[in-house]
């Protein structure tokens, strides 16, 4: 079996996945680790990483490298997204991690991020029968990709993510202005980009199925069961999203963690995430949102294999 690994250095957390590919084409995830470094907090508010954040990140990667050695990983790849792109001293962080662990971090743009996510989704969902909008929400950016019966038509990367909005909300609150108002103003500035994208690839404005990736979509699908008492957590209906948001906003942060089983670093960003979802759905009509447990990290694993995508028959999550 081939042992491989991938690292996703995001704005909210650093994720690592270790997998093995057997002779039958089954990719099995052996280990998944998530560390809530939240690099985007400094990257979006200050434009650079502090010394303490760099130190913590290096320590984190030293621990993750020990995991690679334990599993005898043959090949791996590490990529960084929006927060890394936004920080002026990202190269300092990258060099220190490389020196301490031998792990080279490659910065990718929104277009490559969307492509990797699309490959991962195709391993779980048959995208060839219907049209889909792939919607990924990260900590610093959001990617929209339109597929017509499996065929890639186009994508757009939006400079909006959960941590980016959260920081804007904090700044707004410090000035005595509600965070929601800051969210609305920022999202309104992106409306033309979303409208242009929709008009180009869905000119008849037909309701479309969305495949939502990122931790907030997955958590929202689980909240569908906890809050709305729905049995199926594989999808969310558009009209349910605002109902869940209202309940979350009415619940104080600490109680939100306990009552709904949310991690501390999820309990705050999920509300900005829902605001992003709602804003996009106000422009692009949606039938339902499918929320598979898959994302960028899985697409990276396929890329590490450096084989024909079709050879990976199935993922055992």
pLDDT confidence of residue 309 = 38
How many residues can be counted in the chain?
317
The model's pTM: 0.89
Other CB atoms within 10 Å distance of the CB of residue 252? 10
Tokens 């202005």, located at residue: 177
Strands in 14-21's sheet, in edge-to-edge order, are: 105-107, 75-80, 2-9, 14-21, 26-35, 314-316
Number of H helices and E strands in the chain, helices first, is: 14, 12
**Domain residues of the chain, as ranges?**
2-110+297-316, 125-290
**Strand, coil or helix: what is 317?**
coil
60-75: b or e for each residue (b if 16 or more CB lie within 10 Å)? bbeebbeebeebebee
CATH architecture of the domain with range 125-290: 2-Layer Sandwich (3.30)
Read off the tokens for 312. 């990976």
Please state the rounded mean pLDDT for residues 196-205: 95
2-110+297-316 and 125-290 in the same fold: yes
* pLDDT tens readout for residues 49-65: 999 999 999 999 999 99
Is beta strand 2-9 parallel, antiparallel or unpaired with respect to 75-80?
parallel
pLDDT digits (tens, 9 = 90+) for 245-282: 999 999 999 999 999 999 999 999 999 999 999 999 99
Query: With 70 as the cut, is the pLDDT of residue 315 above it?
Result: no
- pLDDT of 22: 79
The CATH architecture to which 2-110+297-316 belongs is: 2-Layer Sandwich (3.30)
For 135, 165, 170, 264, the CA distances from 255, given in Å and listed in that order, are: 29, 22, 19, 11
Q: How far is CA 260 from CA 216, 250, 252, in A?
A: 13, 13, 11
Q: List, in order, residues 6 or more apart from 179 with CB less than 8 Å away.
A: 168, 169, 170, 172, 173
* The pLDDT value given to residue 47: 95
Q: Among all chains, which residue has been given the structure tokens 């008492």? A: 229
């Amino acid at each position: 079996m081939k042992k491989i690994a991938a690292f996703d250095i995001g704005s909210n957390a650093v994720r690592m996945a270790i997998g093995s590919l057997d002779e039958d084409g089954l990719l099995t995830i052996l280990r998944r680790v998530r560390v809530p470094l939240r690099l985007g907090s400094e990257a979006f508010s200050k434009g650079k990483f502090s010394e303490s954040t760099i130190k913590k990140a290096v320590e984190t990667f030293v621990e993750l490298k020990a995991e690679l050695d334990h599993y005898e990983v043959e090949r791996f790849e590490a990529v960084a997204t929006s927060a890394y792109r936004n920080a002026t001293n990202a190269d300092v962080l990258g060099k220190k991690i490389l020196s301490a662990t031998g792990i080279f971090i490659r910065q990718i743009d929104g277009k490559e991020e969307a492509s990797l996510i699309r490959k991962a989704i195709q391993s779980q969902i048959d995208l060839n029968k219907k049209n889909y909008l792939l919607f990924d929400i990260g900590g610093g950016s959001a990617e929209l990709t339109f597929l017509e019966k499996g065929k890639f038509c186009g994508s757009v990367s939006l400079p909006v993510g959960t941590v980016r909005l959260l920081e804007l909300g904090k700044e707004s609150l410090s000035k005595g202005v509600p965070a929601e108002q800051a969210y609305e103003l920022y999202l309104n500035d992106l409306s033309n980009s979303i409208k242009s994208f929709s008009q180009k690839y869905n000119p008849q404005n037909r309701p479309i199925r969305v495949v939502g990736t990122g931790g907030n979509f997955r958590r929202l699908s689980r909240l569908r069961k906890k809050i709305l008492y729905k049995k199926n957590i594989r999808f969310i209906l558009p009209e349910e999203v605002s109902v869940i948001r209202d309940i979350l906003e009415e619940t104080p942060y600490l109680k939100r963690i306990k009552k709904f089983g949310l991690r501390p670093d999820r309990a705050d960003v999920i509300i900005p995430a829902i605001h992003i979802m709602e804003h996009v759905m106000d422009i692009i009509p949606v039938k339902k949102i499918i929320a598979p447990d898959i994302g960028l990290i899985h697409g990276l694993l396929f890329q590490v294999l450096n084989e024909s995508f079709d050879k990976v028959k199935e993922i055992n999550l």
